[in-house]
């Protein structure tokens, strides 16, 4: 066999082997899907290449004792229209029977459902502290988009002032309109960037290194009336080596500790709080500043661009326990999905994702066992196709899996995808100028619209 013939034979065998490998079942290494072999991928039409992409919506569980306003609706309409009702004899006596027509409660009256939040809301004047909401999300809420309006609506109805949690370094270059942050000699670290040490992270999945001579200034703005004033500012930190801190003129020495520590500064009529750090020795880190009233509602924005959410499981147990003691939450909202949805994902990808998210939710619930937990679905996300702007394949399936996640965790679920209008609803917002032309993120006007939807779901109004 000459050299030319040998070459043709080798090429032919390679093509045959690659074609045969295309028919192998999908392979995975742990939760990572291996790319399917397709030697003809560059010449076959796109529809063929994506035939295995996720487009089947799994059946979703419904809460026990659910009452449906439209029994003929499909599962998506039911998820939006169901009245989540808990049997009275299964509800702890400390919780009144109160429900929402938009939120599905899978707790059957046990802790983790909406009972604790509604009980706190009904008794807000006697709590002796603010009713606090932790709102975890990705870039959909970055810069306090949407959450600033949700906070304002809640504070307007139930009382309260202050913007809540503020990170110590402004990495958004002033994009957040509700607060201004200026810092010097603070190094920022967040979970989606390297290097990052999980052992040092705080409740916002960030930590900020402090150098001698560092400073921090946080001031409110007039963008939202209730967020423009506050009664106390609380700095959260861990001064393992000890340091001196001057805050609004008062000086204090923070002794070395392995626990989360705080410095509380009354506003005294000021709209800002300033910190200067000196005599810094050893390893010291800041976590954030919370500007809030002594009562009413406080909503903390914990956004993390690029996050899928499951890294919440890595916050150290002791750190979470310290925050639960120092900063109790009555409602924890889990709102992720933009970095998970894919038009090429398989069901196994989403199943693996909700397994990891279940670990994250259980981790938070361990520290906050009485708090209500609400999983908010991914909103509509659109993309350009040959047929025009359409909802990304995989979004509706992810919504279904997020509802399954809430059921598995025995917490509550809100179908934001349905509530905002379902398929191609983000396209409508873009056309109104309420969302960006990436068909995934909101403008501030769109944030107000979306906040109204969530506010009505939370308050059933």
* Angstrom distances, CA of residue 4 to CA of 7, 10, 12, 18, 326: 5, 10, 12, 21, 77
Whether residue 179 contacts residue 220, with contact meaning beta carbons closer than 8 Å, is answered with yes
Whether residue 295 contacts residue 181, with contact meaning beta carbons closer than 8 Å, is answered with no
Q: Is 405 exposed, middle or buried (0-12, 13-18, 19+ CB in 10 A)?
A: buried
* Angstrom distances, CA of residue 268 to CA of 181, 246, 272: 19, 16, 10
The predicted-structure confidence for 318-373, as pLDDT tens digits, reads as follows 999 999 999 999 999 999 999 999 988 888 899 999 999 999 999 999 999 999 99
Share of the chain above pLDDT 90, in %: 75
Distance CA 36, CA 88 (A): 52
pTM score > 0.75 for this model? Answer: yes
Instruction: State both tokens at 436.
Output: 């960006």
Task: Report the pLDDT averaged over residues 244-267.
Answer: 97
Q: Which residues contact 9 (CB under 8 A, 6 or more apart)?
A: 1
Distance CA 345, CA 351 (A): 11
Whether residue 84 contacts residue 443, with contact meaning beta carbons closer than 8 Å, is answered with no
3-state secondary structure (DSSP) of residue 414: strand
**How does strand 331-335 pair with strand 297-303?**
unpaired
Work out the pLDDT band at 212, boundaries 50, 70, 90: very high
pLDDT at position 394 over 60:
yes
Distance CA 124, CA 442 (A): 31
More confident site: 54 or 200? 200
Task: Report the pLDDT averaged over residues 36-51.
Answer: 47
Q: Report the chain's mean pLDDT, rounded to a whole number.
A: 87
The predicted-structure confidence for 94-120, as pLDDT tens digits, reads as follows 444 455 669 999 999 999 999 999 999
Distance CA 346, CA 344 (A): 7
Distance CA 392, CA 398 (A): 11
Task: Report the pLDDT averaged over residues 436-454.
Answer: 97
Distance CA 317, CA 227 (A): 31
The predicted-structure confidence for 120-132, as pLDDT tens digits, reads as follows 999 999 999 999 9
CA-based radius of gyration for the chain: 25
């Amino acid at each position: 066999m000459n050299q030319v013939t040998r070459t043709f034979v080798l090429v032919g065998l390679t093509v045959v082997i690659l074609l045969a490998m295309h028919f192998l079942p999908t392979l995975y290494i742990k939760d990572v899907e291996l790319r399917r072999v397709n030697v003809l991928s560059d010449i076959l039409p796109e529809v063929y290449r994506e035939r295995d992409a996720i487009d089947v919506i799994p059946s979703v569980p419904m809460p026990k004792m659910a009452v449906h306003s439209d029994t003929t609706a499909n599962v998506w309409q039911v998820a939006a229209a169901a009245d989540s009702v808990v049997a009275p004899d299964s509800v702890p006596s400390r919780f009144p029977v109160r429900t929402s027509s938009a939120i599905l409660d899978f707790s059957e009256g046990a802790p983790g459902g909406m009972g604790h939040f509604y009980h706190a809301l009904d008794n807000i004047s006697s709590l002796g502290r603010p009713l606090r909401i932790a709102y975890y999300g990705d870039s959909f809420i970055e810069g306090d988009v949407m959450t600033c309006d949700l906070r304002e609506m809640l504070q307007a109805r139930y009382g309260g002032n202050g913007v809540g949690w503020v990170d110590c370094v402004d990495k958004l270059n002033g994009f957040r309109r509700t607060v201004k942050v200026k810092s010097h000699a603070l190094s920022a670290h967040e979970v989606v960037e390297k290097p990052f040490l999980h052992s040092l992270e705080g409740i916002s999945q960030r930590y900020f290194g402090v150098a001698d001579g560092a400073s921090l200034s946080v001031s409110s703005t007039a963008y939202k009336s209730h967020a423009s004033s506050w009664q106390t500012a609380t700095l959260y930190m861990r001064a393992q080596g000890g340091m001196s801190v001057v805050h609004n003129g008062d000086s204090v020495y923070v002794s070395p500790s392995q626990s989360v520590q705080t410095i509380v500064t009354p506003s005294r009529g000021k709209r800002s709080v300033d910190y200067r750090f000196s005599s810094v020795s050893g390893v010291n880190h800041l976590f954030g500043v919370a500007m809030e009233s002594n009562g009413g509602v406080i909503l903390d924005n914990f956004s993390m661009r690029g996050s899928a959410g499951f890294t919440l499981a890595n916050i150290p147990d002791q750190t979470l326990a310290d925050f639960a003691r120092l900063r109790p939450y009555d409602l924890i909202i889990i709102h992720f999905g933009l970095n998970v949805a894919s038009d090429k994902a398989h069901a196994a990808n989403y199943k693996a994702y909700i397994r990891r998210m279940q670990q994250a939710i259980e981790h938070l619930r361990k520290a906050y066992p009485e708090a209500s937990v609400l999983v908010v679905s991914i909103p509509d996300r659109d993309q350009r196709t040959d047929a025009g702007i359409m909802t990304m394949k995989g979004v509706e399936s992810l919504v279904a899996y997020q509802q399954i996640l809430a059921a598995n965790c025995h917490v509550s679920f809100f179908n934001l995808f349905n509530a905002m209008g379902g398929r191609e609803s983000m396209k409508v917002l873009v056309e109104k100028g309420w969302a960006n032309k990436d068909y995934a993120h909101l403008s501030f006007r769109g944030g107000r619209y979306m906040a109204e939807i969530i506010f009505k779901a939370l308050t059933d109004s």
